[in-house]
């Protein structure tokens, strides 16, 4: 039977980064990836709209994300800053507001209160420490509940709830407000920075795949695609890993699969109850991301809405057939991406004369190797599982963006977790 120092399960950014760092330290590494591609929850499709590449998963990065920007500089990867709109678009239940701000002058006080409440909450968070060590239980509640307890009102309340849902890609009664407010803390409590991190940061000029390939090639690790892992049998002196086409031995195993997928692997000894519980519950990120190609829309559209099907619609570029729009909704079945009329109806809540001529999406929620979009914790999950998800179990180690500190659920967090896990494994050697 083939034997390696480490077998890494998953070729997303966490697994690829760990494999590279382990190889650099002299370890023999095999990466087993279930899909036919690398990249995990990022997936760049270069020719989706007449040669205009689409990011089906992770997209934006910001300079405050030190891990991913270090990799960008290391490999000379080209990134492009977002072009800012002349003004933001605000949609109130499908009515586009002809105002600079999302509220009327009569509600300026409500808007100020909402922003002050958000900043005050963000100032309580140290993004480099476990959140469960910081007396933040009152923030680890559903988004809607936090808005109520913070005394938010009017359109300011509706906007912040919708914005939080957009950041979480999750429903307001499910997602933890804490998991969104920590974005603000990670951006040094800058509200504008939080917007940039969500939809107006830098993008990869040639797609996220350009960085994934660079890390994979630099690692020199063997990567086997279409190789979903079925069993991990750990013993005192190593582990046997069974996958679709065979079995291998390893001194240690690094598991980087998404939260909801973890329970699909048969572990011996059985994983602790907390790891199995969060995998069964899964995270709250069960929304959708749809790309639409539309005519008769502003080329710099950047719209936030409340009481709308999409919580955000933004222009990402223009080609001959129209403007390329990225659209987010907090529920995976909110808009039918296969029905152009339905996509058009939802887009028209932000651009009333839009004519949608094409649309594209990936059903991450129904993808057996993802079972969701990015990992936003459900309300209450931090207290129960924050430390559990990344805790090693004997010779089996765990990484993935959901185990990161500062930038959980981002590309940066995945890279951070891969580096952390590699160092953890090497320390045990």
Tokens of 189: 């409590």
Cα separation, 275 vs 270, whole angstroms: 10
Long-range CB pairs of 225-230 (<8 Å, 24+ gap) are 225/11, 225/33, 225/35, 225/36, 225/37, 225/38, 226/33, 226/34, 226/35, 226/36, 227/32, 227/33, 227/34, 228/32, 228/34, 228/369, 229/9, 229/32, 229/34, 229/265, 230/265, 230/266
How far from 133 is each of 48, 130, 274, 275, CA to CA, in Å? 45, 6, 18, 19
By C-alpha distance, which of 393, 398, 401, 391 is closest to 422?
398
By C-alpha distance, which of 365, 375, 367, 290 is closest to 56?
290
By C-alpha distance, which of 136, 277, 119, 103 is closest to 192?
119
Residue that has been written with the tokens 């120092």 in this structure? 5
By C-alpha distance, which of 407, 295, 423 is closest to 69?
407
Give residues with Cβ within 8 angstroms of 139, minimum separation 6. Answer: 121, 124, 146, 176, 177, 178, 181
Annotation-wise, does 222 bind a ligand?
Answer: no
Q: Give the H/E segment covering residue 341.
A: helix 340-347
Strand partners, 8: 31, 254
Tokens of 396: 């089996």
Annotation-wise, does 110 bind a ligand?
Answer: no
- Which three-class secondary structure state does DSSP give residue 76? coil
> DSSP H helical segments within 124-236, as ranges?
143-149, 154-168, 177-186, 191-195, 208-219
Annotation-wise, does 33 bind a ligand?
Answer: yes
Q: Which residues of 316-353 are buried (b: 16+ CB within 10 A; e: fewer)?
A: beeeeebbbbbbbbbbbebbbbeebebbbbbbbbbbee
Distance, C-alpha 193 to centroid of its chain: 17
- 27 in Cβ contact with 219 (< 8 Å): no
How far from 83 is each of 77, 161, 166, 181, CA to CA, in Å? 19, 25, 20, 25
Strand partners, 231: 242, 266
- 239 in Cβ contact with 250 (< 8 Å): yes
Binding-site residue ranges: 33-34, 229
Binding-site residue ranges for FAD: 33-34, 229
């Amino acid at each position: 039977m083939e034997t390696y120092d480490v077998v890494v399960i998953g070729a997303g950014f966490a697994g690829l980064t760990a494999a590279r760092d382990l190889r650099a330290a002299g370890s023999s590494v095999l990466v087993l990836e279930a899909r036919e591609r690398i990249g995990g929850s990022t997936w760049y499709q270069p020719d989706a709209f007449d040669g205009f590449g689409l990011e089906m998963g992770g997209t934006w990065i910001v300079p405050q994300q030190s891990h991913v920007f270090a990799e960008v500089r290391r490999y000379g990867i080209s990134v492009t800053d977002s072009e800012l709109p002349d003004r933001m678009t605000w949609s109130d239940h499908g009515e586009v507001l002809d105002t600079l701000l999302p509220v009327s002058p009569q509600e300026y006080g409500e808007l100020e209160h909402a922003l002050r409440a958000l900043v005050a909450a963000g100032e309580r968070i140290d993004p480099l420490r476990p959140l469960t060590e910081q007396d933040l239980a009152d923030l680890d509640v559903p988004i809607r509940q936090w808005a109520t307890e913070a005394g938010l009102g009017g359109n300011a309340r509706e906007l912040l709830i919708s914005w939080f849902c957009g950041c979480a890609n999750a429903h307001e009664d499910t997602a933890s407000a804490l998991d969104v407010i920590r974005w603000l803390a990670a951006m040094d409590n800058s509200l504008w920075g939080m917007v940039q991190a969500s939809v107006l940061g830098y993008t990869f000029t040639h797609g996220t795949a350009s960085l994934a390939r660079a890390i994979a090639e630099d690692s020199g690790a063997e990567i086997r695609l279409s190789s979903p892992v079925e069993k991990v049998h750990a013993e005192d002196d190593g582990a046997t890993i069974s996958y679709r086409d065979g079995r291998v031995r390893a001194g240690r195993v690094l598991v980087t699969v998404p939260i909801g997928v973890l329970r699909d692997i048969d572990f011996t000894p059985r994983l602790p109850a907390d790891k199995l519980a969060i995998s069964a519950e899964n995270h709250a990120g069960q929304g959708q991301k749809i790309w639409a190609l539309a005519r008769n829309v502003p080329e710099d559209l950047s719209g936030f809405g409340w009481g709308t099907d999409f919580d955000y619609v933004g222009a990402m570029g223009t080609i001959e057939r129209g403007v390329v729009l990225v659209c987010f909704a907090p529920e995976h079945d909110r808009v039918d991406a296969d029905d152009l009329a339905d996509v058009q109806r939802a887009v028209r809540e932000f651009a009333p004369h839009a004519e949608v001529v094409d649309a594209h999406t990936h059903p991450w929620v129904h993808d057996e190797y993802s079972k969701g979009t990015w990992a936003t914790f459900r309300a209450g999950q931090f207290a129960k599982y924050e430390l559990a998800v990344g805790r090693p179990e004997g010779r089996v180690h765990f990484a993935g963006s959901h185990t990161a500190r500062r930038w959980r659920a981002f590309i940066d967090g995945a890279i951070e977790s891969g580096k952390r896990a590699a160092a953890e494994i090497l320390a045990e050697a």
